[in-house]
Amino acid sequence: MSNATDTTDLPDSTPSRWQEYQKIMDNGLWKNNQALVALLGLCPLLAVSNNVVNGLSLGLATLAVLLISNGLISLIRNHVSSDIRIPVFVAIIATAVTMIDLLMNAYLHTLHGILGIFIPLIVTNCAILGRAEAYASKNTLDKALVDGFFMGLGFMVVLVLLGAMREIIGNGTLFDHIHMLFGDMALNWTIHFSDDYQGVLLAILPPGAFIGLGLMIALKNAVDAKKKNKSPKDLGIPIQVTQKTEATNKTL
């Protein structure tokens, strides 16, 4: 009896491009968030996240640098020797940071002065060099851009949430001085939760940044643990699905 089986009609297990993009998005925003999981870029994250406008501004700058550097590195990945790739990556990142720094100084001068040294320090952010080496240098332009966008977005979300938490607790406001980023149209965007609120000084001081980030990391770990407990357990019994053809019903 022939035991041959036909697997030509089985669904293709190769993920589509959109599935790959979704995986990159989930990786950047949650599973491998550079601030909450990789714990990279903590120096600027903790230093400027005392309100929303500072966190959002630095987050946007970091996102822009990630997009530019990932895109350029992906384009030249086949033309750079492995011996000099790191210096080349650093030069590209430094060029992108210089562009963003000059643009912010020209069009957002007040905000540029507040953020100060932390804009040029984006060059030393290990998250950017890490994505360049681990992903952009090994993948096509479209995937590198998607990875840069969502890695930057995940980092920016943490900055904004931490800044919002510290601003609300420390000052009793939200979106204070947001007009420095969006111009005169944002003059009335500030939310005051109470006129008599005295604020908690600890929240806007450096210890408040460490406490706030620790709470966010703990919350993420708790959510991940809850999801893991709800997921079906693997019983260790392999199951193979095959599709029989008419040939299996014939005897030789």
pLDDT digits (tens, 9 = 90+) for 96-105: 999 999 999 9
In this predicted structure, what is the pLDDT of residue 137? 93
Residue 237 confidence (pLDDT): 54
Backbone angles phi, psi at 143, to 5 degrees: -70, -35
* Residue 100 pLDDT: 96
Locate tokens 């806007």: which residue? 204
In sign, the C-alpha dihedral spanning 130, 131, 132, 138 is positive
Chain centre distance of CA 188: 30
Mean pLDDT of all residues in the chain? 87
The pLDDT assigned to 7 comes to 45
Which amino acid is located at 41 in the chain? G
The fraction of the chain above a pLDDT of 70, given in percent, is 86
- Report the pLDDT value the prediction gives residue 68, as an integer from 0 to 100: 96
The more confidently predicted of residues 42 and 246 is 42
Binning pLDDT at 50, 70 and 90, where does residue 12 land?
A: low
16: pLDDT strictly greater than 50: yes
What's the mean pLDDT in 12-33?
A: 86
Cα–Cα distances in Å, from 25 out to 60, 143, 220? 17, 10, 17
pLDDT, greater one: 108 or 194: 108
**Is the predicted pLDDT of residue 151 greater than 80, yes or no?**
yes
Residue 124 has pLDDT above 80, yes or no: yes
pLDDT at 9 over 60: no
Give the separation between CA 8 and CA 87, rounded to whole angstroms: 48
- Between 12 and 168, whose confidence is greater? 168
State mean pLDDT over 52-71: 96
pLDDT confidence of residue 252: 46
Mean pLDDT is lowest, of 12-21, 115-124, 173-182, for: 12-21
